[in-house]
Structure 1
Amino acid sequence: MRGLDYKWVEALEAVVVQESFERAAQALFISQSAVSQRIKQLENFLAKPVLIREQPPRLTTAGKKLMGLYHRVQLLESEVLPELTNQPNQRPVRIFIATNADSLATWLLPALAPIMQERKVEFNLSVDIEARTIEKLKKGEVTGAISLEPEPIPGCVSQYLGRMDYVCVANPEFAKRYFSKGVTRHTLKHAPAVSFDQYDEMHQMFLKQHFNLSPEVITQHRVASSEAFVNLALLGVAYCLIPRLQIAKELEQGRLVDLMPGFLLSFQIYWHHWQLETGLLQEITQAIVDYSSAQLPK
């Protein structure tokens, strides 16, 4: 039986990255019909579709798993081939990481910066809420994920990074307008808020557990950006739950005020990665663990 031909998978990746068969052919220096033929051969080999042929093309579940395998093979090659051939890598090594928006906006980039500067690497950082990032690791879409889930999935390791402490803040004018009598169930009903998306469990927990309030009865903007949360609070159009680490300067300057002094909504975060790591992947894990240990409370 003929094994998996990685030229087929290379064509699949090119179509997804380039978002068209035509541009994929140009990137691979082959004809468009050759790209189509390679993907058909791949689907015949697996006896299932790997690509949803719409604009832009999207991977099926099988295609995502296959892409995860391909990225692992590329990583292994990047470690082994230079040693065997005595030739340096010509292309950057691609690393796929799933992260929550708040880690990306605070400590993750400084943690990875030395590796970006010193190694020939290309990071692809996908952003999702903390509860869903580990799903990307399960599907093989990423090589590591920052998650709230402490238990590792099979074949992976979970390492505790620290605590993310969230404070409820607004600018002084907003606080005076909506919360002059304090943050209560009644005042929260009338104050616009911000959440990441409809699956933002953090804001739902804040309202339900502490105020017995349903998210459906409040005005709630949805913005999938941690930096936008801060800007909206500074603009005085909403109150937000924001990591203290992210707004220490704004709180010190009085541009934002803590609406509930002494209150923290805290979450423990973990770094999930493959069990057997060497070389670059090991460096990335060490950088993430070391930097988060210095920046995040335990």
Structure 2
Amino acid sequence: MVLLDYKLLHALSVVLNEQSFDKAASVLAITQSAVSQRIKSLEQIIGQPVLIRAQPIVATAIGKKLLGHYQQVKLLEQDIIPDISGNKKHETITANIASNADSLATWLIAAIGDVSHQYNLAVNFRLADENRTINYLKDGEVFGAISTYDQALPGCTLEKLGDIHYLLVAAPSFIASYFPEGINKQTLARTPAVAYDQKDDMHIKYVEQTFGLKGGSYPCHTVRSSEAFVNFAKQGIAYCLIPKLQIQAELASGELINLMPENPIIRTLYWHHWVLLKGVFKQLSSAIISRAQYALNNQ
């Protein structure tokens, strides 16, 4: 029977978080060779590699399972230790959450605020496109993820949060400069857009499906910030897809114009989390569900 040594699992977690054996040694207050020995010992116990030593350092399939197990154990420890010590106000509880940038820019921080005033809570966000956040949960790096994925993972459950509406918008001055005769394939070919990153295919698919213009055939900024999308549009730098929830005031004032009111993008968001949640993690999960459902149902 294999007995897990959680000191070794902790080393695995730190190496992956720090992406360096040297930095992990500093965090663990041991030598780099000692970190390497702990990983080697874990691999000897398991009987197979737990890390792929490359750039970036990644966990193997069994390494991901071990990391997920370790994170769940840490979650349970963080929940019970304040009760044992009688020091709830001063024990720091760390919560790792995967989110898309748009949720973080709109309703998610309010959900964190609903819980953080009761605990000494430290939240670490893993940000990615809503189609890719589920990977952080699969890899055991987070206890919950906001995602468009509509199937529960093993050991997890999900709740529907609601639909998020994306509108293609631009400032009046931008429309006057680039679309004086309307928006079409020809005008879009010379008009700057905005994407979140190189893996963000929402804009590319929208333009290709709506206008038949393929990605790479028009200028496009890359900006890893949901708030920056709004500012790019308001400053007349580009046109872009933005959640309606994020720009209601700008739409009402006419500062931004919906270019395609008959053709929004609608994506359904789900909250995925480990089945076994207690204490602050259960409260945080409930707050996320409540805040999201209220925000998305009132956009």
User: Would you call these one fold, judging by a TM-score over 0.5?
Assistant: yes
Q: Distance in 2 between matches of 1:110 and 1:267?
A: 21
Q: 1:276 to 1:25 in 2, by over 3 A?
A: closer
Residue in 1 aligned with 2:236?
236
* More displaced stretch, 29-38 vs 146-155: 29-38
Helix, strand or coil at the partner of 2:188: helix
How many residue pairs match? The answer is 297
Residue in 2 aligned with 1:103?
103
**Superposition deviation, residue 144 in structure 1:** 0.8
Partner AA of 1:49 in structure 2? P
Residue 281 (structure 2) pairs with residue 285 (structure 1): no
Q: Residues 161 and 296 of structure 1 are in contact (CA less than 8 Å); yes or no, is this contact kept in structure 2?
A: yes
Q: Distance in 1 between matches of 2:17 and 2:136?
A: 17
Q: Distance in 2 between matches of 1:147 and 1:162?
A: 11
**What pairs with 1:5-44 in structure 2 (closer than 5 Å)?**
5-44=5-44
* More displaced stretch, 8-17 vs 94-103: 8-17
Q: Deviations over 1:62-95 (max 9, x none)?
A: 4333222211101112233444x35436642222
Q: Distance in 2 between matches of 1:123 and 1:8?
A: 24
Helix, strand or coil at the partner of 1:13: helix
Residue in 2 aligned with 1:173?
173
Q: Residues 166 and 243 of structure 1 are in contact (CA less than 8 Å); yes or no, is this contact kept in structure 2?
A: yes
Q: Residues 169 and 233 of structure 1 are in contact (CA less than 8 Å); yes or no, is this contact kept in structure 2?
A: yes
Residue 46 (structure 2) pairs with residue 46 (structure 1): yes
Q: Residues 102 and 226 of structure 1 are in contact (CA less than 8 Å); yes or no, is this contact kept in structure 2?
A: yes
Q: Distance in 1 between matches of 2:188 and 2:198?
A: 18
Helix, strand or coil at the partner of 1:230: helix
Q: Residues 16 and 59 of structure 2 are in contact (CA less than 8 Å); yes or no, is this contact kept in structure 1?
A: yes
**What pairs with 1:1-298 in structure 2 (closer than 5 Å)?**
1=1, 3-53=3-53, 57-83=57-83, 85-88=84-87, 91-297=91-297
Partner AA of 1:226 in structure 2? S
Q: Residues 161 and 271 of structure 1 are in contact (CA less than 8 Å); yes or no, is this contact kept in structure 2?
A: yes
Q: Residues 65 and 141 of structure 1 are in contact (CA less than 8 Å); yes or no, is this contact kept in structure 2?
A: no
Q: Distance in 1 between matches of 2:54 and 2:154?
A: 33
TM-score by length of 2: 0.89
Helix, strand or coil at the partner of 2:149: coil
CA-atom RMSD, angstroms?
2.4
Partner AA of 2:223 in structure 1? V
* More displaced stretch, 159-168 vs 116-125: 116-125
Partner AA of 1:232 in structure 2? F
Helix, strand or coil at the partner of 2:158: strand
Q: Distance in 2 between matches of 1:34 and 1:92?
A: 27
**Superposition deviation, residue 103 in structure 1:** 0.8
Q: Deviations over 1:200-224 (max 9, x none)?
A: 2321331132223222322222222
**Superposition deviation, residue 277 in structure 1:** 2.1
Partner AA of 1:39 in structure 2? I
Q: Residues 126 and 136 of structure 2 are in contact (CA less than 8 Å); yes or no, is this contact kept in structure 1?
A: no
**Superposition deviation, residue 60 in structure 1:** 4.2
Q: Distance in 2 between matches of 1:257 and 1:56?
A: 42
Q: 1:155 to 1:25 in 2, by over 3 A?
A: closer
* More displaced stretch, 14-23 vs 224-233: 14-23
* More displaced stretch, 47-56 vs 176-185: 47-56
Partner AA of 1:176 in structure 2? A
Q: 1:28 to 1:139 in 2, by over 3 A?
A: closer
Q: Residues 101 and 226 of structure 1 are in contact (CA less than 8 Å); yes or no, is this contact kept in structure 2?
A: yes
* More displaced stretch, 125-134 vs 243-252: 243-252
**Superposition deviation, residue 54 in structure 1:** 5.4
- Extract unaligned runs of 5+ from structure 1: none
TM-score by length of 1: 0.89
> Share of identical aligned residues, percent?
45
